């Protein structure tokens, strides 16, 4: 989603309510990268194909942050894309939908599912006084249909990954990835109350 998508939604459904779920940009770009590997391998350039084949052959260096899943250009584009998406969606959503717009963080939903779902139900004027609702929400947290689908479609890629895990970037980002993302998206991470990890001492990345 981005600002243009919100404008189109408002044009078609001006009375709608918009819920914007924000995810830590570092986890978001990793997830999108893996998803692209699985869904669109035919669209990869030669450098990206080499990264994918190397990951399939030996994923450990990528899972431990020794090697990057991103090219230098790729991590820059990914960071800029996340920033533009979050800023535009939030600004345009507030502007057009007003009190019919709600934002929440993916990480808060995982950490406090009942409380965050309560916010959503209240926002949607949904009656949450239903027998067994707490158990249903709890059970849903143990399911991950998307992960199951990825394992079935591209097991060689997905078998080493935990889909939907919070904080995978801490293990998988290289120091270059981290520094680049901080330089581009640090202000946006801070605005959404995400912790900014400082890269270890070393050569600075020139964007």
d(CA 29, CA 26): 6
Query: Any residues with CB less than 8 A from the CB of 21 and at least 6 apart, and which?
Result: 103, 104, 105, 106, 109
SS3 of residue 6 by DSSP: helix
Given 3-state DSSP classes, what are the helix, strand and coil percentages for the chain, each rounded to the nearest 5? 65, 5, 30
Per-residue pLDDT tens digits for 5-20: 999 999 999 999 999 9
Buried b or exposed e, range 74-95, using 16+ CB within 10 angstroms: bbbebbebbbebbebbbebbee
pTM assigned to the model: 0.85
Q: Mean pLDDT, to the nearest integer, of 75-82?
A: 97
The model's pLDDT over 119-178, given as tens digits with 9 standing for 90+, comes to: 999 999 988 888 888 888 888 877 665 655 455 555 656 555 655 567 899 999 999 999
- Which parts of the chain are beta strand (E)? 18-22, 101-105
Domain 3-191 - what CATH class?
A: alpha beta
């Amino acid at each position: 989603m981005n600002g243009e998508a919100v404008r189109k939604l408002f044009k078609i459904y001006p009375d709608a309510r918009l819920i914007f779920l924000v995810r830590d940009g570092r986890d978001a770009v990793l997830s999108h990268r893996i998803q692209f590997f699985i869904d669109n391998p035919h669209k990869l350039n030669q450098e990206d194909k080499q990264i994918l084949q190397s990951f399939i052959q030996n994923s450990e260096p990528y899972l431990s942050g020794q090697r990057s899943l991103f090219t230098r250009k790729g991590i820059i584009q990914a960071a800029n894309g996340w920033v533009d998406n979050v800023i535009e969606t939030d600004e345009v959503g507030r502007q057009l939908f007003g009190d019919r717009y709600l934002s929440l963080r993916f990480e808060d939903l995982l950490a406090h599912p009942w409380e965050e779902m309560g916010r959503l139900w209240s926002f949607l004027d949904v009656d949450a006084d239903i027998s067994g609702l707490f158990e249903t929400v709890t059970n849903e947290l143990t399911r991950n249909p998307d992960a199951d689908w990825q394992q079935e479609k591209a097991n060689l890629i997905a078998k080493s990954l935990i889909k939907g895990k919070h904080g995978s970037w801490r293990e998988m980002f290289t120091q270059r990835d981290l520094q680049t993302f901080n330089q581009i998206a640090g202000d946006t991470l801070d605005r959404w109350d995400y912790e900014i990890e400082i890269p270890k001492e070393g050569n600075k990345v020139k964007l």
